[in-house]
Amino acid sequence: MHSSYVRPTEDIFNADDPRIKEDIIGIVMQYLADEGYHASQAVLYDETNVKWKEREERSIEIKRLKKSILDGDWQEVEKLCTKPVVKNHRSFLYSIYKQQYLEYIERREIQKAFTFLNKRLKPLEHLQTKPNEFKDLCYLLTAKSIHEAPSFRNWEGIMGARENLVDQLQSMLDFETADRNGNRYIPPDRLLTLLRQAVAYQIEFSRYHPKVAPAVNSLLENYTSFVIPNAARRTLTGHRRNVKCVEFIGEEGRELVSGSSDNTLRIWGTETGECHAILEGHHSRIWDVSTTAQGGSLASASGDGTVKIWNLKDTLPLCATTLTGHSGDVYSTRYHPNESHIVTGGYDKTVRLFDITTGATVKTFSGHQLAVTKTIFNPLGNLVVSGSKDNTIKFWDIVSGLCIRTISSHLGEVTSVEMNSSGTYLLSSSKDNSNRLWDVRMVRPIQKLKGHQNTSKNFIRATFADNNLIVGGSEDGVVYIWDQDTGEVLQKLRGHNGVVYEAAWNAKQGMLASCSDDQTVKMWYYDEKVGITKKKKTTTCLALIIYTALFLSPVIDAVGHLKQKLYT
């Protein structure tokens, strides 16, 4: 993993900058036009404060002007030249008049040419394209051929010159359009180029750099390598009591935070394993943590009945807000997708929605019969999902505050709930010794994940990871990784010396973090050497079996022959 690189954060460019907004709209319009979505492009064009009627009239006038030039209908050209399209482009008017004059000369209409020269071209003499051009125009009144004048030695003839005049008009309009848009030239396929660069960036800076560039078939999620962690990368020590929760900070995950029964939070660097900060302020154990997408803010839920909001943008993180309202331990906290609200759950059996700015309780959801152990939002942010010690999972409408659905299939306390990024699956952990995967739309269990232990007083939690993996803790001190589709245990990560409370996966870092009763946080990753060692062992064992079979085959044959003799 690269030690330092530019992160795709908002400080790279200001999305509210009018110029940036114009660039984005221009790129999107270019893509729509390239793909043939002309009606959509027209609508977008209109919504960017360009009136359809004006644009349509302008387009019609340009087509008429081009046709009139090619047909030599100079009376119509004269009329259209009074329109705004070319009215202020005097150099183009000069070119039109020059063409008319040359056609008079070509047809030997000398008197008309002389009158036209004095009336139309003389006032625009200063716009001549060559130093002696107007002088040569005058000379043509007495010349036998247009080609005799040095400035018109390469004249293409009437039709050729008309076509060149139409091309000049189009170039002028193109330049005018670019100038009106701030002189912005949009290179071809700009949107696709930027998207390819973004995907290449993700692949280049992924932890497990592929030897062959993969084909990406979706742009809805960032590229991640498919790996199953198999080895401990670092063990983070410093907490003085068990570590209840762990989470990577923000989507980038260059740091992670852990909460402990020693009443503190610790922030660690994922690459170095160094403790960057110790956050003190709670008066009881930390049960849960949550961070914003950019990692600028952190929320911690504690046994002291409060939730603290920490500002991580400063060099020394400080508690910005303390949210109160629960009576007893607060077991869970989670940021709303808009990051202006937080949902919490606690010992007092309630789920609370807080406004972070004011610190006030916006809504209280009541209905659970026992303590609420975990609270989350669905991806859209219109529902709250809560798990409780009363063995149920409840879905709450965030606007009305009503419980719209209850799942009561678990036979033990529900210790955690999580939802996948699309909001189609719900994962629940329970003290009935199972993690269950639910189809949210059908409200039915589709997979039961077993193998771990979750039966005692601990809060054992599980969550989703990339590529249809599920990771979670266990009372036997092992981190479990399951296949979401089959329910099969794919990996058991051993190393902790106590209960593993939960595990967190970060796709950007390609790492797994787990926290335990042994007062440590462990970081897990994929180590190629471990895979090679296992392969070598397997190869050695296979060779031994083959060798043994070959060595013993004569003996086996002899014994078989002896048995046959004895029985006969």
- Residue 213 vs residue 370, higher pLDDT: 370
The overall pTM is greater than 0.75: no
Asked, for residue 553, whether it belongs to a domain, the answer is yes
Out of 25-29, 34-38, 474-478, 541-545, which region has the weakest mean confidence (pLDDT)?
A: 541-545
Host H or E run for residue 384 = strand 383-388
* Domain that includes residue 558, residue range: 536-568
Tell me, what DSSP letter sits at residue 214?
A: P
pLDDT average, residue stretch 265-273: 94
Whether 426 contacts 449, CB under 8 Å: no
The phi and psi torsions of 350 (rounded to 5 degrees) equal -110, 155
Share of the chain above pLDDT 90, in %: 55
Nearest residue to 160 via CA among 64, 69, 63: 69
Within 10 A of 275 (CB to CB), how many other CB atoms are there? 15
Within 10 A of 380 (CB to CB), how many other CB atoms are there? 9
Whether 248 contacts 258, CB under 8 Å: no
Whether 283 contacts 304, CB under 8 Å: yes
Structure tokens at 404: 């719209």
pLDDT average, residue stretch 189-212: 76
Asked, for residue 62, whether it belongs to a domain, the answer is no
Across all residues in the chain, what is the average pLDDT? 85
Q: Is 254 helix (H, G, I), strand (E, B) or coil?
A: coil
- Residue 172 vs residue 405, higher pLDDT: 405
Say if strands 414-419 and 330-335 run parallel, antiparallel, or are unpaired: unpaired
- Band of the pLDDT at 418, cuts 50, 70, 90? very high
Asked, for residue 82, whether it belongs to a domain, the answer is no
Residue 136 has pLDDT above 60, yes or no: yes
Chain segment 434-446, per-residue pLDDT in tens: 999 999 988 888 9
Within 10 A of 321 (CB to CB), how many other CB atoms are there? 17
The phi and psi torsions of 473 (rounded to 5 degrees) equal -95, -175
Residue 564 has pLDDT above 70, yes or no: no
- Provide Rg for the chain, Cα atoms: 38
Tell me, what DSSP letter sits at residue 119?
A: I
- Band of the pLDDT at 566, cuts 50, 70, 90? very low
Say if strands 478-483 and 264-269 run parallel, antiparallel, or are unpaired: unpaired
Asked, for residue 179, whether it belongs to a domain, the answer is no
Within 10 A of 300 (CB to CB), how many other CB atoms are there? 26
Report the phi/psi class of residue 423: left, alpha or beta, with left for phi > 0 and alpha for psi in -120 to 50.
Answer: left
- Residue 556 vs residue 274, higher pLDDT: 274
Residue 329 has pLDDT above 60, yes or no: yes
Asked, for residue 552, whether it belongs to a domain, the answer is yes
Structure tokens at 399: 């606007």
Total structural domains within the chain: 1
User: How many whole angstroms separate alpha carbon 158 and alpha carbon 527?
Assistant: 76
Residue 294 has pLDDT above 80, yes or no: yes
- Residue 149 vs residue 46, higher pLDDT: 149
Within 10 A of 235 (CB to CB), how many other CB atoms are there? 14
Out of 342-346, 388-392, 481-485, 506-510, which region has the weakest mean confidence (pLDDT)?
A: 506-510
Q: Which residues contact 214 (CB under 8 A, 6 or more apart)?
A: 203, 223
Out of 6-20, 57-71, 96-110, which region has the weakest mean confidence (pLDDT)?
A: 6-20
Residue 142 has pLDDT above 50, yes or no: yes
Q: What is the pLDDT of residue 17?
A: 74
Measured between alpha carbons, how far is residue 190 from residues 21, 25, 48, 217, 552 in Å?
Answer: 15, 12, 20, 19, 70
Measured between alpha carbons, how far is residue 29 from residues 50, 137, 317 in Å?
Answer: 13, 45, 43
Asked, for residue 25, whether it belongs to a domain, the answer is no
Q: Is 43 helix (H, G, I), strand (E, B) or coil?
A: helix
Asked, for residue 401, whether it belongs to a domain, the answer is no
Residue 363 has pLDDT above 50, yes or no: yes
Q: What is the pLDDT of residue 558?
A: 45
Residue 235 has pLDDT above 70, yes or no: yes
Structure tokens at 476: 């036997």
Asked, for residue 566, whether it belongs to a domain, the answer is yes
Within 10 A of 268 (CB to CB), how many other CB atoms are there? 24
The phi and psi torsions of 5 (rounded to 5 degrees) equal -160, 165
Q: What is the pLDDT of residue 550?
A: 40
User: How many whole angstroms separate alpha carbon 58 and alpha carbon 52?
Assistant: 10
Nearest residue to 161 via CA among 99, 86, 72, 77: 99
Burial zone of 451 (CB within 10 Å; 0-12 exposed, 13-18 middle, 19+ buried): middle
E strand map for 510-560: 511-516, 520-525
Nearest residue to 124 via CA among 164, 162, 95: 95
Report the phi/psi class of residue 406: left, alpha or beta, with left for phi > 0 and alpha for psi in -120 to 50.
Answer: beta
